Amino acid sequence: MEQLRWEREMSKRNVTDITIVLPSLNPDEKLIGTLDGILGKGFRNIVVVDDGSDEQHKKPFDYAREKGCTVLVHEVNKGKGRALKTAFEYCLTCTDCIGVITVDGDGQHAAKDIYRCGEEMLAYHNERVILGCRDFGGKDVPPKSKYGNNITRFAFRALCGIKISDTQTGLRAIPVEFLKAMTEYKGERFEYETNMLLEMKSQGIPFSEVKIDTIYLEENASTHFNPFKDSLKIYKIIFKYAISSGASAVIDLLLFYIALFVLELMGVENPEQTVIISTVAARIVSSLFNYFVNQKVVFQSASRNSFFKYYALCIVQMAASAALVASLSTLFAAGKTGKLVIKLIVDTCLFFVSFGIQREWVFKKRG
């Protein structure tokens, strides 16, 4: 009954009822142009965040106030992530907020595309986030944006299982029911927007893409995104998913090699037997390390069944590793060093398979 009442209420809503969130630092006339475009589309609820701008750049904020916008002020620069969270927290206090559309104030988002993202959000009955995604294949796209997005897009797909065409988009339509969770995501600066995408995947928040115009003014000179410093923060977040497994693989290889020496000293000569025993001994230690790091640090999962799922996967992976290494070692008549090389190749392949299974099954968070 409550759901039916909510759906009836939402059916009466228009795109222009959605709140626009616009964070800005030291803006120029392009912010005024962005506001004019938004107002021209009929949006009435606009929240602008002055993220510690200096006195020489206050004019656009005064203009926003004159046009009836709400202007929230950070006395010092706190970063885009904090500015977005400040706006989200404010919107959660407004009883009429049905969702927000985050917009960059440097003229990169056309008013028609902002409106389309809002339409799409309502079309999905406020049940998914809408991402306004640009086409980076054009010749007018600045190299730092083109290559930065391509690399990050590959990392999202390969390491995190997230297929997204524009990892840097600031145009996002977010239903109000997801705002509270998003105020709790980590990150104060540009890394926050990446965290948002990772957490959406982790928490099972669905999203769709809307193709938008690719607009770069003055070679994107007005952006405050530092392609070196801020990329390091972004990739630090992404690659934490792989560091634990890499460290475990090193531990596993070292213990495997040590076990081969010990078994040789003990007089065990059967190649298949030495490989199987060494694999089991090394995997017991490395898997315990890997499980606890993955659970506590990487996936931050509280799933009660993750331990049993992890070791079910571990047993299958261990058996596959032992069988493949033993077979290939016999086939190529490999010595200790050869076996180590073969194991490295086999376990590298199994790593990618295991990583995906851990991400999607073992430590998957339930929304």
What domains can be seen in the chain, in order of their start residue?
A: 2-227 (3.90.550.10), 240-362 (no CATH)
Pairing verdict, β 19-24 and 46-51: parallel
Mean pLDDT of 293-309: 79
Q: Name the residue with tokens 């809002």.
A: 118
Predicted confidence at residue 13, as pLDDT, reads: 77
Rounded Cα distance between 122 and 307, Å, is 40
Strand order through the sheet with 19-24: 70-74, 46-51, 19-24, 99-102, 172-175, 129-133, 207-211
Mean pLDDT rounded to a whole number for the chain: 85
Residue partners of 178: CB distance under 8 A and separation at least 6? 129, 205
Predicted confidence at residue 75, as pLDDT, reads: 95
pLDDT band at 73 (very low <50, low <70, confident <90, very high): very high
Predicted confidence at residue 190, as pLDDT, reads: 80
Q: What count of other Cβ atoms lies within 10 Å of the Cβ of residue 96?
A: 10
Please give the backbone phi and psi of residue 44, each rounded to the nearest 5 degrees, phi first. -110, -30
In the numeric block, which tokens belong to residue 98? 């049905």
Residue 316 has pLDDT above 60, yes or no: yes
Predicted confidence at residue 249, as pLDDT, reads: 82
* Cα 39 off chain centre by: 31
SS (H, E, C) 282-351: HHHHHHHHHHHHHHHHHCCCCCCCHHHHHHHHHHHHHHHHHHHHHHHHHHCCCCHHHHHHHHHHHHHHHH
In the numeric block, which tokens belong to residue 220? 């994107």
Residue 218 has pLDDT above 70, yes or no: no
Residue 117 has pLDDT above 60, yes or no: yes
Rounded Cα distance between 172 and 102, Å, is 5
pTM listed for this prediction: 0.71
Query: Which span out of 40-49, 149-158, 240-249 was modeled with the highest average pLDDT?
Result: 40-49
